[in-house]
A and B are shown apart, each in its own frame.
Chain A
Amino acid sequence: MRTKIILTALAICALTGFALEPGETELEHNGWYRYTNQSSALKLTDPTVSRFSLERGYLRFSHQWVPAFFTKMTVDIFSSDKYPEGATVRLKEAYADLSLPFVRDFNFTAGLQKHYFGLIYSWDYTHPEKELADEQGICASADYGLTVNGYLPSGLGELQLGIYNGEGYKYAGKYVNTSPEFLGNIRLTPFAGVALGFSVFTNSADAALYKNDKKGRITEAGNIFYMNADTANTSRLALAPSLKLAFGPFSILGEYLGYSYTRKFSYYQINHDTSGNIVDSTLVQKQKDYQMTGLDLVPMITLAGRKIEVFGRFSMWNRREQSGDSMSLNKDKSFVRYGAGANYHFVRREKGKPGLIFQFAWTRTQPKNSELKPTDVLLAQVRFEWSTVITKPSL
């Protein structure tokens, strides 16, 4: 039913668009050329990762049909080790945006669009690495869905309400769950220098990547038919209060993350007789609770007429897993991260001008298990971004 609603909305938007005469088209390209050096305890000459890559290769086509109707499509062509050609392409955005009648500054958006959670949708990669919720897989920065989104009067802030697939933009088709995700986000800017935000999303279950839909059995040769566990994360709930303070050249961006779900899984347990022969299998169903909390802080100072940005990064991630009646900390998967870096803007992006930035960042991630060594990541990146408006020829 939900798919039908989405398809119908997309079809209406597309048909409305094609019925109109063309307006203004914009073509945009973002190219991020990155060197990554990852090592244990800063052994740069003995890295576990040392590579150059095209981290992002966005090609974006947007068209303002009329002021009230806008469409956009973005594909990302980037380096990937999943294919022998060393690169792949994926769809990042594809949506239609329609101004709501009678509600000033609000739009209805349908399609693959921004996922308005925490800082993820406005993360502009001033720090070249991903925002914590994105990196830890709480959610993706884009997803398929329908939203009502817009701006509150008098510059008070913004508000978004949405219904999404809940799997992010990398998953489609059979990987999409049957229960939709519901999202709400508000960001308030009551006065200069302060932005307060709060986001929440929930869905009853994500996609079961492994379906245990066949009964376990033994082949004639006596081999066990191996079954993957049937898994699904249910009762997903994520919260993200966020804050940005900005005074003069100083700013600090921060968010707290709370995320919980219950993983339900099943498998066939092989039963043996007293002689140890396999006689049967029994379906076993279990569940386990997970709770994650995180903190992400990015302080920054802008220098030399906005040519240089110097930033720091502090992140914390605690992953708790059910163990009997208690929720114990998984120290291997919990960590503290800190680091610093700088950006140099050769050219600031603005109308008619491309943007050219050199970015450098170092981060150290120390797992909470003190027996594990820290991981150091050094990134150096050149970002080149430009756009052009394709105007109609005057006849």
Chain B
Amino acid sequence: MEVKMKKTVSILAMLSTIILGAEVIVKGSDTMLNLTQRLAEAYSNVQPDVTVSISGGGSGVGINAIINREVDIANASRRIKSKEISAARANGVDPTEIVIALDGLSVIVNNKNPIKQLTVQQIGAIYRGEITNWNQVGGPNKKIVLYGRQPNSGTFVFFREEVVKGEYSSAMRQMNGNAQIVEGVKADEGGIGYVGLGYIKNVEGIKPLAVAKKVGENYISPTDEARVRSGDYPLTRPLYQYTNGRPKGIVREFILFELSPAGQKIVEEEGFVPVTQNYIERNNSILQE
């Protein structure tokens, strides 16, 4: 009886989608912008009657939009804050978390820079403004130019908490997005930046640094997918999507597509890492009907 009911509801939902046409609105993280755009394009081939609209603005902007019921999905490269959960609940919104991919946040330098690896402590000291010349970390006598994101970016917050562990140097250039950081470092021999893994794939003029947790430990490249997947790479982070309550209808269908083998293949093609078993299990418990 229950199964029959569920089937009827699903068929009705599908019919209304076909007849009325439907839209899934996604907003937030710039790191996830290209990835979700590709996923939306691919989904439109599977479900031509569903439009998935994607926009960026930063994780904070996306989370704010889900709190205010303006979007169906918020993309976030950082976890939702306690203050934001409280504001959402007061507004009748139940922020529910899905992990759609993993990212190895990549520290990049100009190709002409001979530096190949740094520890998290060294990168932190560089971004705090305590190390200002490449020769202090074994490189050439050249001033370090810092490129980073703006405070509404989830990447800005993640990097500050995990690497900087203090305050960013006021000399850091706050860029609008990952692509702008890549362009900045590409044009600047003294430049250093941090971007999502998806933004370094097939890009010339820059290179990602191998990173070690501390001196004496192994240096791991973010391009080593297995080490990002296992969490050995020190700057591995989940990429989140938030919905209002358990996803339903076309929102659920779109997320299921993102997590399907076809969706996770796109995740890989975009340079990110597919979700691991622990996240798959957690996602399944949320997505089950």
A interface residues with partner B (beta carbon < 8 Å): 21-24, 64, 66-68, 104-105, 151-158, 187, 189-195, 244-248, 251, 306, 348, 350-351, 391-392, 394
Contacts and interface: CB of A to CB of B under 8 A. Distances in A.
Contacts of A152: 82, 86
Interface string B160-181: 1000000100100110000000
B85 interface: yes
B84 interface: yes
Interface stretch (B7-15, B88-96, B99-107, B229-237): B88-96
B86 A192 contact: no
B91 to A, nearest CB: 6
B57 interface: yes
A350 B61 contact: yes
Nearest to A188: B86
23 contacts: A21-B170, A66-B167, A67-B160, A67-B167, A105-B81, A105-B82, A105-B83, A152-B86, A155-B83, A155-B89, A155-B95, A157-B86, A158-B83, A189-B85, A190-B89, A191-B94, A193-B94, A246-B90, A251-B91, A306-B70, A351-B61, A351-B152, A391-B174
B284 interface: no
B67 to A, nearest CB: 11
A157 to B, nearest CB: 6
A155 B70 contact: no
Given A153-B82, A154-B82, A192 B167 contact: no
A38 B12 CA distance: 53
Closest A-B pairs by Cβ, 9 of them: A155-B85, A246-B92, A192-B94, A189-B89, A21-B170, A195-B90, A66-B167, A193-B92, A151-B83
B56 to A, nearest CB: 11
Nearest to A192: B94
B173 A192 contact: no
B90 A154 contact: no
A22 B172 CA distance: 12
A282 B185 CA distance: 85
B64 interface: yes
A22 B90 contact: no
A155 B58 CA distance: 21
Nearest to B69: A306
Given A105-B82, A105-B83, A351-B61, A192 B70 contact: no
Contacts of B152: 351
Interface of B: 57-58, 61, 64-65, 68-70, 81-86, 88-95, 151-152, 160, 167, 170, 173-174, 245
Contact of A155 (B57, B84, B151, B173): B84
B188 to A, nearest CB: 12
B83 to A, nearest CB: 4
Contacts of A244: 90
Nearest to B57: A351
Contacts of A68: 167
Contacts of A251: 91-92
A24 B89 CA distance: 29
A67 B81 CA distance: 15
Nearest to A391: B174
Contacts of B91: 246, 251
A306 B68 contact: yes
Nearest to A22: B170
Contacts of A151: 81-83, 86
Contacts of B92: 192-193, 245-248, 251
B206 to A, nearest CB: 19
Contacts of B89: 155, 189-195
Nearest to B70: A306
Nearest to A394: B173
Given A152-B86, A193-B94, 6 more contacts: A68-B167, A155-B89, A192-B93, A350-B61, A351-B58, A351-B152
A351 B57 CA distance: 8
A192 B170 contact: no
Nearest to A395: B171
B86 A24 contact: no
Nearest to B169: A21
A150 to B, nearest CB: 8
B284 to A, nearest CB: 22
A154 B80 CA distance: 10
A395 to B, nearest CB: 9
Contacts of A23: 170
Contacts of B86: 151-152, 155-158, 187, 189
A281 to B, nearest CB: 58
B147 to A, nearest CB: 10
Contacts of B167: 66-68
B3 to A, nearest CB: 28
Contacts of B57: 351
Contacts of A21: 170
Between B85, B95, B173, the greatest number of chain A beta carbons within 10 A of the residue's beta carbon is seen for B85
B143 to A, nearest CB: 12
Contacts of A194: 89
A305 B283 CA distance: 29
A156 B86 CA distance: 6
A335 to B, nearest CB: 29
Contacts of A350: 61, 64-65
Contacts of A153: 82
Between B64, B81, B82, B160, the greatest number of chain A beta carbons within 10 A of the residue's beta carbon is seen for B82
B134 to A, nearest CB: 19
Contacts of A187: 86, 90
A155 B93 contact: no
A191 B88 CA distance: 9
Contacts of B95: 155
A68 B90 CA distance: 26
